[in-house]
């Protein structure tokens, strides 16, 4: 685990803006457009408020995807992990890169329109790698979070900064790695830093000024050991989803800090760590929450994307949340009227940490797999999770979710730790291994979200760390790491239909868009992130992957 906390020191030159070309006829991104995004654009992190990762475009299909060819590529010159999706608005693409880089490109040709790089303080420290996961668009602005915990608003046409807001003190190890969410006329951002004893929160900003509209902490006094909530983690480092019908923002939270706290009683759930919370978008009030892993000791963050869909359960249509988690379970929750009610959960990978899950969704721990201070335990999955941050996707055509999962195990042991501002605050040591008896690590799975039944699966030799895209052309796209491939699969059968060998391991989030009537698919290749921190065990097959970020764009020949 020590490697996980390798200090990612990021030092570049002074903040710079370089404008190369003019952007004319830029189409402002309105609330109405975000509510009903046009098929040809990709206006937000997962394409829509429901976090589907789905493009309705149909030009590229399972019948012709074999004709997909690269049409342009863009190198960032950075060697850390490239995990961002592109955001595309009427032919203008915005992509972020590690080290606080932001680029505006012509989405058809790849021509650079402007770029920005932000100076990072020499004493900045973060876990895990110096990644950035994209931007949000609103009006004529591009919104970006930074490693030194600022949110910046840029003029989309020129790249000039409109406002720069400090969200928190980076010296306390607050950072921002996720894309903001624009909802109900507000810019909503989460924060990162759960391995350093930060107190998690979600904050909504005024898009005109960057000033705070509301700020809500995600740890609850009384649920932690005395004083523990102030340094209790529950950070909010992956972009949430939004239900406009109930004005509810759904956002996940990270592990508690420390992971293993010897002061915690068995009844201390350490809420709301490792949870999903329902926020009133107007006030920021937490309406309710569901805790995936109460009093978590395995680093099973609950930040993974909440996919909002309608399901049919016992013959009745239900407003649902589907979410695949680090603990190895795919959850189905009822979100009627902005609520959160447990319905069911199914294992999607090997998981030994729970004996069962009760009718309210509360897990019954497996005592053999639960570590403590001085007690080593063996557990599956490892802290990398059955699925990590890299988003699953949903297709309204097949009504399946496509989960980028991984099989791994670990030994983990608690250790004494004392909080000190700016220092790692974990209280555990661990060693990650491959899962015994399996000849694969990564697995892309198509799963029925109601029954948990696996419809098809494709396995991979090494970690599957990229996001997933589904399309109206009956396709599923994702990248793999050790073979450096970007792949397309038949959404119904799982048959591999196409692949392209890129420059590095693919851990980006693919998107699809249209310019002048032509459909494109784009993805970052650039291995790194926490997946690049391991040289043995699960990392044995990825340690020699070449690094360096390139954004690839493909179209039919």
Residue 417 reports pLDDT greater than 70 = yes
- The enclosing H or E element of 72 equals strand 68-75
Instruction: List, for residues 376-392, the tens digit of each pLDDT value.
Output: 999 999 999 999 999 99
- What percent of the chain clears pLDDT 70, i.e. is strictly above it? 97
Per-residue pLDDT at 20: 75
Instruction: List, for residues 144-197, the tens digit of each pLDDT value.
Output: 999 999 999 999 999 999 999 999 999 999 999 999 999 999 999 999 999 999
**Which residues, other chains included, contact 437 with Cβ-Cβ below 8 Å and sequence gap of 6+?**
none
Instruction: List, for residues 287-336, the tens digit of each pLDDT value.
Output: 999 999 999 999 999 999 999 999 999 999 999 999 999 999 999 999 99
Query: Which of 175, 131, 144 lies closest to 549, judged by CA?
Result: 131
Cα separation, 501 vs 305, whole angstroms = 28
What would you report as the CA-atom Rg of the chain, rounded to the nearest whole angstrom? 21
More confident residue, 219 or 536: 219
Computed over every residue of the chain, the mean pLDDT equals: 95
Q: Is residue 109 part of a domain?
A: yes
Q: Reduced to 3 states, what is the DSSP secondary structure of residue 229?
A: helix
Cα separation, 308 vs 49, whole angstroms = 8
The residue ranges of DSSP E strands in 122-208, in sequence order, are 136-138, 141-145, 150-155, 161-166, 181-183, 186-189, 201-205
Per-residue pLDDT at 14: 58
Catalogue the long-range contacts made by 317-324 (C-beta closer than 8 Å, 24 or more residues apart). 318/343, 319/243, 320/449, 321/250, 321/276, 322/394, 322/401, 322/449, 323/252, 323/276, 324/348, 324/386, 324/387, 324/392, 324/401, 324/403, 324/405
Q: Is residue 117 part of a domain?
A: yes
Q: Is residue 212 part of a domain?
A: yes
Q: Is residue 425 part of a domain?
A: yes
Query: Which of 14, 19, 8 lies closest to 118, judged by CA?
Result: 14
- Show the domain range for 281: 43-556
Query: Which of 456, 50, 89 lies closest to 242, judged by CA?
Result: 50
Residue 4 reports pLDDT greater than 70 = no
Q: Span 48-69, mean pLDDT? A: 98
- CB contact at 8 A, 80 and 99: yes
Q: Span 111-117, mean pLDDT? A: 97
In the numeric block, the tokens 């003019």 are attached to: 22
The catalytic site residues sit at 299
Residue 397 reports pLDDT greater than 50 = yes
Per-residue pLDDT at 7: 39
Per-residue pLDDT at 266: 83
- CB contact at 8 A, 217 and 199: yes
Q: Is residue 141 part of a domain?
A: yes
Query: Which of 325, 317, 329, 462 lies closest to 399, judged by CA?
Result: 317
Residue 517 reports pLDDT greater than 60 = yes
Q: Span 106-132, mean pLDDT? A: 93
pLDDT band for position 19 (cuts 50, 70, 90) = confident
Query: What tokens appear for 527 in the block?
Result: 């291995």
Cα separation, 342 vs 359, whole angstroms = 8
Cα separation, 254 vs 197, whole angstroms = 11
Q: Span 383-408, mean pLDDT? A: 98
Q: Span 88-110, mean pLDDT? A: 97
Helix then strand then coil, in percent of the chain rounded to 5, is 5, 40, 55
Query: Which of 185, 249, 258, 182 lies closest to 219, judged by CA?
Result: 258
- CB contact at 8 A, 79 and 493: no
Per-residue pLDDT at 528: 94
Residue 114 reports pLDDT greater than 60 = yes
> What CATH number did the domain enclosing 450 receive?
2.140.10.10
Number of separate domains in the chain: 1
Q: Is residue 7 part of a domain?
A: no
- CB contact at 8 A, 423 and 387: no
Residue 442 reports pLDDT greater than 80 = yes
- pTM for this predicted structure: 0.96
Residue 32 reports pLDDT greater than 90 = yes
End-to-end Cα distance, the chain:
46
């Amino acid at each position: 685990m020590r490697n996980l906390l390798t200090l990612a020191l990021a030092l570049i030159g002074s903040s710079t803006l370089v404008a190369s070309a003019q952007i004319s006829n830029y189409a402002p991104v309105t609330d109405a457009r975000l509510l009903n995004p046009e098929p040809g654009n990709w206006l937000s992190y997962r394409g829509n408020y429901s976090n589907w990762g789905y493009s309705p475009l149909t030009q590229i299909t399972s019948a012709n995807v074999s004709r997909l060819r690269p049409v342009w590529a863009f190198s960032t010159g950075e060697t850390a992990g490239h995990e961002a999706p592109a955001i595309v608005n009427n032919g203008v693409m915005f992509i972020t890169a590690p080290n606080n880089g932001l680029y505006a490109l012509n989405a058809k040709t790849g021509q650079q329109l402007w770029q920005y790089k932000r100076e990072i303080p020499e004493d900045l420290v973060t876990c895990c790698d110096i990644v950035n996961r994209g931007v949000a668009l609103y009006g004529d602005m591009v919104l970006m979070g930074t490693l030194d915990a600022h949110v910046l608003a840029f003029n989309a046409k020129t790249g000039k900064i409109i406002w720069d807001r400090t969200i928190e003190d980076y010296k306390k190890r607050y950072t921002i790695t996720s894309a903001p969410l624009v909802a109900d006329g507000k810019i909503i951002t989460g924060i990162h830093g759960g391995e350093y004893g930060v107190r998690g929160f979600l904050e909504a900003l005024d898009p005109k000024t960057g000033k705070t509209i509301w700020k809500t902490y995600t740890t609850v006094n009384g649920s932690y050991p005395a004083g523990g909530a102030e340094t209790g983690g529950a950070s909010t480092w992956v972009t949430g989803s939004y239900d406009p019908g109930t004005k509810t923002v759904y956002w996940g939270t990270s592990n508690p800090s420390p992971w293993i706290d010897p002061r915690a009683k068995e009844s201390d759930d350490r809420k709301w760590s490792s949870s999903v919370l329902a926020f009133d978008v107007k006030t920021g009030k937490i309406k309710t929450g569901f805790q995936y892993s109460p009093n978590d000791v395995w680093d099973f963050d609950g930040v993974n994307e909440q996919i909002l869909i309608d399901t049919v359960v016992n013959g009745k249509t239900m407003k649902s949340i589907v979410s695949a988690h680090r603990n190895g379970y795919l959850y189905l929750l009822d979100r009627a009227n902005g609520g959160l009610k447990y319905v069911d959960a199914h294992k999607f990978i090997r998981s030994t940490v729970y004996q069962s899950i009760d009718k309210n969704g509360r897990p019954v721990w497996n005592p053999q797999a639960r570590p403590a201070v001085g007690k080593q335990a063996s557990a599956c999955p490892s802290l990398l999770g059955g699925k990590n941050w890299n988003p699953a996707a949903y297709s309204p055509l097949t009504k399946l979710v496509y989960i980028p999962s991984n099989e791994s195990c670990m030994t983990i042991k608690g250790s004494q730790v004392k909080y000190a501002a700016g220092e790692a605050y974990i209280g555990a040591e661990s060693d990650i291994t491959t899962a015994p008896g399996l000849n694969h690590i990564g697995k892309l799975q198509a799963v029925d979200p109601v029954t948990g039944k696996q419809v098809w699966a494709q396995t991979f030799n090494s970690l599957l760390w990229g996001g997933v895209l589904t399309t109206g052309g009956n396709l599923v796209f994702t990248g793999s790491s050790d073979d450096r491939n970007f792949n397309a699969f038949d959404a119904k059968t799982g048959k591999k239909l196409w692949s392209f060998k890129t420059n590095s391991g693919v851990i980006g989030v693919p998107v699809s868009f249209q310019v002048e009537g032509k459909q494109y698919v784009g993805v970052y290749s650039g291995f790194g992130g926490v997946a690049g921190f391991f040289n043995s065990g699960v990392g044995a097959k990825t340690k020699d992957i070449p690094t360096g970020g390139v954004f690839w764009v493909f179209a039919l020949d």
